[in-house]
Every structure is written in C-alpha cells, then in structure tokens.
C-alpha cells in the first residue's frame, strides 16, 4: 500500500504548464505571467496635483527648501503665515489639455490629478487656505515638490512593471493598464476533462430507471476543477463498447492537460475502461493509505503523456481523491506557490474513528470559539458512525480532518489537523 506522500510525489512530477498565450488583461487575473513587461513611458507622464488645492511657487508661500524624501509632513508643526495672499488666475481640472503658465506670486486652482501649470512646483492644500476663488490666503507654507506627483515618480521608462512568473493580481492588472498594455502573455488555465463511466449512470435530465442513478461525479468534479482554477470540460457519461470509449478518451487527450475518469476503479464494471486505457499508456491501479478513496489509479496516456486519474464511483471518495491529488496538480500547473490548502490545529467537539494504517480524511465543520477565538471542529464521519459515503454530509463540510495513520480515534477535546476547504467561514 502506497502512502499519501508517495502518491502525491508521483502525481506532482507530472505537473505540466500549458504553452503561453496572449490574452486581454481583463481576463488575466490569477494567471501566471509568461513575459517581462517593461514600461515604455514614465508614470505619471506629467507633473500633476496630488491633492485638491492651489498650484503655486513654493517660494511665494514661505516654503523655500525642497521636500525631504519620505518626510512625515502630516505630523510636522508648521508656522502660521501672515499676509500671504495670491491672485487666483485660473482653474485646472483633471484631464485638462489646456496648458497654463504660472507667473510669480500667482496661484491656480487645481483638482487632484490635474496637470501642474508651468513654473508651479507645489500645491497648497485647500485645508491650508481660506479657499478663496479670486484671491487665496495661504495659512501655512508648502515646500517645493510638496503635494505634487512628479514625472516618473511611480515608474520610469525601462522599469520592469511585471516579472515573468508573477501571479497576476488586481495590482498587477492595474499596473499593466497604467503602462498601456491591453494584452499580456500568460500561462493559461490547465484544461481538465471530466468523464464518468458506468452502465448504471443516467444524466440528470433523464428519469432514472430501476438500478440506475444520476451522474453525480461529472458535475461535482467539474465544479471542484473550476474552484481549483482549471478550464474544465465536463464530458459527462462516457458509455458504449470499448472502441467508442477509446475514441472518447483519445479525443480528450488532444484537448486536455489533465483527464479525470470517475467510476474507472473499484469494481468489475470498470474493467473495460481499464483495458482500453492500458492500450494507450501506463496506468497504475493502486491502494493508497487513506480513507475514504483508497483504491485509485493514475498514469500518463498518449504521445504527450497526459496525466489521467481513475477515481471510484462513490462521489465522496472521488471528491476526497480529487482534493488530495488532482487539485494540487492543477494549482502547480497554475504556478501557485502553495499548491495545498491551509492547515490549522483545532479542538475536536465529537468522537471520530479512523482506520489504523490509513490517513483519515474526514469531512468536518470548522468553527471559531467566540470568546477564545480557538478553532473548533466537528467531524461528520469516520470508520464508523456517520456513513462516509453520504454526499449530503460532504455538502455541509467546510473542512476535512486529517487523522494520522497511527491514530484510530479522535476524542472530544483532542487537538487535530484540519484542512480548510472553504475560507468563507
């Protein structure tokens, strides 16, 4: 029996990064940048007002020395000014394209983001004035460069705005827009195809007959793939004789970086699909020291060696295997630094049994104590008690207990590792 860690190493070795593509920056959030983006122009491209106020020459309002870098101007005591009154000779709004030139001992009313008139080297904030419209009285001095965004303060031409390998977040997208890039080269989301096999399966649009059940796995696993960040194609039920099954799988090998087939292990009905897959590459059917979902398969198929997962038909087991092995592979393909979920220590609220020699991955509800802020966890299943195969319990879970292989029982009050499945609670 293979350990979880051994199986995970085997799986993650097969992680592949799709060929980069150039897409609109509006679609690039969460993807890994595949190029170095350099600025071709300064940002800002012109001197502009950083605050609503009056564009002035600092020397005209009692501020002769330039602003020291990173000075804490907000907390600095400033002298009061007397009899410093300047005529207001114009007004400039943000976006204005009308050039203005300031003369000595004059002021121009400016709005945040407005281009600074020529010769102006500071902005007198409204709060430091009497807010006059024809003449303005300066109540405090400002120094040269104060409340001004200088040309290139943020970025200079040739500066690297985004580096290769950066995971594009909102700030990166904004920066790309700021340097005038409408498109960027990225590694796209890995394409994942989800199939279900089994003579007993019918699609949810049909009424199941005697001995038939709805195809749950293709829907649940497709949702799990999208949540992990993949571009998912839900093939649905792959039924038919072996030749037809082979055609379906070969078609998905051409369009996928990962294939997941539910119902392909754990029973005699899965033997035909395993025989078909064995003709297309190496598939390893094994037992992994975990529960639920011990029996599973993994291999590389086709000329490109596409990773293919074989999961059992039980939806809970299939989801646990997907969470443990498929999701990390997807996250690695996306370039995520942390391919696995966050794990916290929590105090158990109820008794949960596990199987000796296997790692328990038991659905649970994670909570927070209102007074102590300690994590608390309620297990929904285990080796006995609440059945591990019920999907309804899985839907209530926002976490999974991770019970070590040498532990057979978690008792109320015990500390246990808990894997976050949802960050919303």
- pLDDT, one tens digit per residue, over 165-207 is 898 999 999 999 988 999 999 999 999 999 999 888 899 888 8
**Residue 30 or 67, more confident:** 30
Specify the pLDDT at position 392. 63
pLDDT of 384 above 50: no
Residues 6+ positions from 207 with CB-CB distance below 8 Å: none
**DSSP tag of 325:** I
Mean pLDDT across the stretch 378-402?
71
**DSSP tag of 12:** H
Specify the pLDDT at position 165. 87
Secondary structure class of 219 (helix, strand, coil): helix
Specify the pLDDT at position 274. 83
pLDDT band at 75 (very low <50, low <70, confident <90, very high): very low
CB atoms < 10 A from the CB of 165, how many? Answer: 12
Specify the pLDDT at position 185. 96
Mean pLDDT across the stretch 3-15?
93
* Mean per-residue pLDDT over the chain, rounded: 88
Specify the pLDDT at position 196. 93
pLDDT band at 425 (very low <50, low <70, confident <90, very high): very low
Secondary structure class of 122 (helix, strand, coil): strand
CA distance 275 to 283: 10
Domains, the chain, ordered by start: 4-17+189-334 (3.40.980.10), 21-43+154-187 (3.90.105.10), 44-67+77-153 (2.170.190.11), 343-420 (2.40.340.10)
> What Rg, from alpha-carbon coordinates, does the chain have?
32
Specify the pLDDT at position 211. 86
Q: β-pairing, 352-353 with 415-420?
A: unpaired
Using CA atoms of 76, 77, 81, 86 in order, give the dihedral in degrees to the nearest 10. Answer: 20
- In this prediction, what percent of the chain has a pLDDT beyond 90? 63
Residues 6+ positions from 192 with CB-CB distance below 8 Å: 225, 230, 231, 232, 233, 256, 257, 258, 259, 260, 326, 330
Give residue 84's region: left, alpha or beta (phi > 0; psi -120 to 50). Answer: beta
Contact 422, 366 (CB under 8 A): no
Residue range 78-90, pLDDT digits in tens: 777 667 899 999 9
Mean pLDDT across the stretch 281-310?
93
Burial environment of residue 376 by CB neighbours within 10 A (0 to 12, 13 to 18, 19 or more)? middle
Contact 192, 233 (CB under 8 A): yes
Specify the pLDDT at position 270. 75
Mean pLDDT across the stretch 207-222?
92
Residue range 221-263, pLDDT digits in tens: 999 999 999 999 999 998 778 888 889 999 999 999 999 999 9
Residue range 90-133, pLDDT digits in tens: 999 998 888 888 899 999 999 999 999 999 999 999 999 999 98
Predicted TM-score (pTM) of the model is 0.77
pLDDT of 338 above 50: yes
Specify the pLDDT at position 192. 96
Residue range 18-35, pLDDT digits in tens: 889 999 999 999 899 999
Mean pLDDT across the stretch 215-221?
95
Specify the pLDDT at position 69. 43
């Amino acid at each position: 029996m293979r350990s979880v860690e051994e199986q995970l190493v085997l799986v993650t070795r097969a992680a592949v990064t799709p060929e980069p593509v150039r897409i609109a920056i509006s679609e690039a959030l969460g993807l890994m940048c595949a190029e170095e983006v350099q600025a071709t122009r300064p940002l800002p491209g012109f001197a502009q007002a950083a605050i609503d106020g009056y564009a002035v020459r600092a020397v005209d309002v009692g501020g002769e020395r330039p602003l020291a870098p990173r000075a804490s101007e907000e907390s600095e005591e400033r002298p009061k000014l007397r009899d410093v009154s300047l005529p207001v000779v114009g007004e400039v709004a943000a976006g204005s394209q009308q050039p203005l030139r300031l003369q000595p001992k004059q002021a121009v009313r400016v709005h945040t983001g407005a281009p600074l008139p020529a010769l102006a080297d500071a902005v007198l904030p409204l709060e430091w004035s009497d807010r006059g419209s024809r003449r303005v009285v300066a109540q405090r001095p400002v120094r040269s460069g104060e409340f001004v965004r200088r040309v290139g303060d943020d970025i200079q031409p040739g500066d690297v705005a985004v580096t290769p390998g950066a995971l594009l977040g909102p700030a990166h997208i904004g920066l790309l827009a700021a340097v005038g890039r409408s498109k960027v080269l990225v590694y796209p989301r890995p394409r994942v195809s989800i199939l279900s096999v089994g003579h007993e399966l019918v699609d949810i649009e049909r009424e199941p007959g005697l001995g038939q059940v709805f195809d749950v796995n293709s829907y649940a696993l497709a949702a799990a793939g999208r949540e992990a960040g993949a571009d998912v194609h839900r093939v649905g039920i792959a039924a038919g004789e072996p030749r037809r099954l082979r055609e379906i799988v070969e078609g998905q090998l051409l369009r996928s970086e990962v294939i997941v087939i539910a119902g392909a292990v754990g029973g005699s009905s899965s033997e035909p699909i395993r025989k078909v897959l064995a003709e297309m590459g190496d598939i390893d059917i094994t037992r992994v020291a975990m529960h639920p979902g011990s029996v599973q398969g993994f291999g590389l198929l086709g000329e490109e060696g596409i990773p293919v997962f074989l999961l059992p038909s039980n939806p809970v087991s299939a989801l646990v295997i997907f969470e443990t092995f498929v999701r990390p592979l997807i996250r690695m393909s996306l370039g995520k630094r942390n391919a696995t979920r966050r794990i916290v220590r929590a105090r158990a609220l109820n008794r949960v049994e596990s199987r000796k020699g296997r790692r328990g991955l038991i659905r649970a509800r994670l909570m927070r104590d209102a007074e102590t802020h300690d994590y608390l966890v309620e297990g929904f299943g285990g080796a006995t008690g609440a059945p591990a195969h019920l999907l309804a319990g899985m839907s209530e879970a926002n976490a999974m207990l991770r019970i070590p292989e040498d532990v057979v029982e978690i008792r109320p009050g015990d500390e246990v590792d808990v894997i976050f499945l949802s960050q919303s609670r």
